Chains A and B, each alone.
Chain A
Amino acid sequence: MPATKLSKTAAHDHASRVFDLDQMSLRELNQALHNLTPGSNETAWEVLNPKGNHSVAVGVDQPITIDVRGSVGYYCGGMNSGSAITVHGSAGPGVGENMMSGSITVKGDASQYAGATGKGGLLVIEGNASSRCGISMKGIDIVVHGNIGHMSAFMAQSGNLVVLGDAGDALGDSIYEARLFVRGKVDSLGADCIAKEMRAEHLDLLQGLLDRAGVTGVKPTDFKRYGSARTLYNFNIDNADAY
């Protein structure tokens, strides 16, 4: 599913609204973000001193930009719907969990289950992502510049996971129809996940994802594609003894 490319130009017409989490509570920040209505001129936000706080900019539903200056804890940008969030630091577990649309860019590393259950939008991790990246993804696109940890894309349903580095053990275990593109080595594939032919349509798709994520100097032909062998889709009577 192609995600909407976000325009950042509007943001530069207005001064940023700055929230310093040393001075204000997280609740005040998130409430102010939730109070935004369509057409608001407050399109550029900046968050200072996040200091590992949980749930920074969760549930934003307007097409604004949010620059978070520092590292965040759990669930940053969760349920994001249309905003463009940049974390100028690293992110704790569950960054972009259940994102609907918009984008989240993490300049550093991301902890476990980045982009879990995401339904849309683009999540870019410029460093490494740890275990369970893209677990149960449902349409989100995820681009990781570095490596991803074990059990990534577990039960991934749709969307695309692009990894410029290596993938850990059990990649794509019990995967449905998500597409996985890995440039480096894969420690092991999970149950029912197999390497697949990279056809012209996949090269085009991958080039589009790399472009949207601002990745340059990397060719789609450098990647291998992985996806579902579709052998777990239906109950096989020969496996009855296993249950």
Chain B
Amino acid sequence: MCGIVGLFLKNKSLEPQLGSMLSQMLISLSDRGPDSAGIAIYGAPSRNEAKITIQSAKPERDFRGLEAELAKAIGTPVTIAVKSTHAVVRTTPAKIDEAREAIQTLRPDIRIMGAGDVVEIYKEVGLPEAVVDRFDVRGMTGTHGIGHTRMATESAVTTMGAHPFSTGADQCLVHNGSLSNHNNVRRELIREGMTFETENDTEVAAAYLSSQMAHGKNLGEALEGTLSDLDGFFTFVVGTKNGFGVVRDPIACKPAVMAETDQYVAFGSEYRALTKLPGIDNARVWEPEPATVYFWEH
């Protein structure tokens, strides 16, 4: 199974509630996947800083003193905001790649959840409600976000096997389904120079889209490519810095419902994820067509 949700706000009025809306949507789908849960939130952009979301199984050990050590290593001020097993590292955009490398050197056990100008990614083993509470997702503001609750099929139940998967700056993806050609596609992407953190099929889908967009395709074109290049079952919901996309494989056995109003576009594996959204009774509600790309950009 697995449950996936997405919410893309069209104007600022609901931005303060993005975290609470997305949390509620994900929690409503808890019985679609009890193994692990995760959420990516796209916050307000800032010209002066970019972010890296990091994770450690031993946060007390790994996060202590990291701020000062990292600032010294890259020669630029850094702030680190710790949230349970995760932390958000902020520094100037020009230093973000250097900071990423320095973190891996200073603390080899830290895993990178994602990085970019606006995205923050939180994921852990456990039910959606526990994960949302642990990272105080309800209080987060933002422009759009995606979430996932997992029933594992293709790889181990671990933090790193949870969704969303992020393989490019401000890019991330959640997936309901399973891919059958992910080993081949992974090998091709490794030859291109991409790196992988897990054996998970969904990470390959995320990396495929990152690779396509790195080659100049827009989100819609990259999603179109999944229909010919990825084999298996999938409903994908994807976030980029300013975009939000949905695509289902041609067989489309993984469920999907969307709703659109003047204020938002929302996605849920099931309609019950959407029932508490404002104005849902008058929203346009539809099931996305198989093999059809939907995307919105700010």
CA distance A111 to B268 in the complex (A): 13
Inter-chain contact A149/B271, CB cutoff 8 Å: no
Partner of B287 from A51, A74, A111, A150 at Cβ < 8 Å = A111
What 0/1 readout, one digit per residue, does chain B (131-173) give for beta carbons within 8 Å of chain A?
0000000000000000000000000000000000000000000
Distance in Å: Cβ of B5 to nearest Cβ of chain A: 13
Inter-chain contact B275/A51, CB cutoff 8 Å: yes
CA distance A111 to B288 in the complex (A): 10
CA distance A112 to B275 in the complex (A): 20
Given the complex, which residues of A lie within 8 Å of B106, measured CB to CB? none
Inter-chain contact B290/A131, CB cutoff 8 Å: yes
Given the complex, which residues of B lie within 8 Å of A112, measured CB to CB? 252-253, 255
Given the complex, which residues of A lie within 8 Å of B271, measured CB to CB? 52, 71, 73, 90, 92
Q: A111-B287, A150-B290 are in contact. Are A52 and B270 (CB under 8 A)?
A: yes
Q: Does A109 contact B (CB under 8 A)?
A: yes
CA distance A112 to B269 in the complex (A): 13
Q: How many A-B residue pairs have CB under 8 A?
A: 42
Distance in Å: Cβ of B118 to nearest Cβ of chain A: 31
Which residue on A lies nearest to B285, using beta carbons? A90
Which residue on A lies nearest to B275, using beta carbons? A51
- Counting chain A CB atoms within 10 Å of each CB, the highest count among B255, B271, B286 belongs to B271
Given the complex, which residues of B lie within 8 Å of A51, measured CB to CB? 272, 275
Interface residue tally of chain A, by bracket? Answer: 10 to 19
Given the complex, which residues of B lie within 8 Å of A71, measured CB to CB? 271, 275, 285
Interface residue tally of chain B, by bracket? Answer: 10 to 19
What 0/1 readout, one digit per residue, does chain A (117-144) give for beta carbons within 8 Å of chain B?
0000000000000110000000000000
Inter-chain contact B275/A109, CB cutoff 8 Å: no
What 0/1 readout, one digit per residue, does chain A (67-86) give for beta carbons within 8 Å of chain B?
00001011000000000000
Given the complex, which residues of A lie within 8 Å of B274, measured CB to CB? 52
Distance in Å: Cβ of A188 to nearest Cβ of chain B: 13
Given the complex, which residues of B lie within 8 Å of A73, measured CB to CB? 270-272
Given the complex, which residues of B lie within 8 Å of A52, measured CB to CB? 270-275
Which residue on A lies nearest to B291, using beta carbons? A150
What 0/1 readout, one digit per residue, does chain A (142-153) give for beta carbons within 8 Å of chain B?
000000011100
Distance in Å: Cβ of B287 to nearest Cβ of chain A: 5
CA distance A71 to B257 in the complex (A): 12
Q: Does A207 contact B (CB under 8 A)?
A: no
Q: Does A59 contact B (CB under 8 A)?
A: no
The 10 closest A-B CB pairs, nearest first, are A52-B272, A52-B271, A51-B275, A130-B287, A71-B271, A52-B275, A73-B272, A73-B270, A52-B270, A131-B252
12 contacts between A and B (CB under 8 A): A73-B270, A73-B272, A74-B270, A90-B285, A92-B270, A109-B286, A112-B252, A112-B255, A130-B287, A131-B252, A131-B290, A150-B252
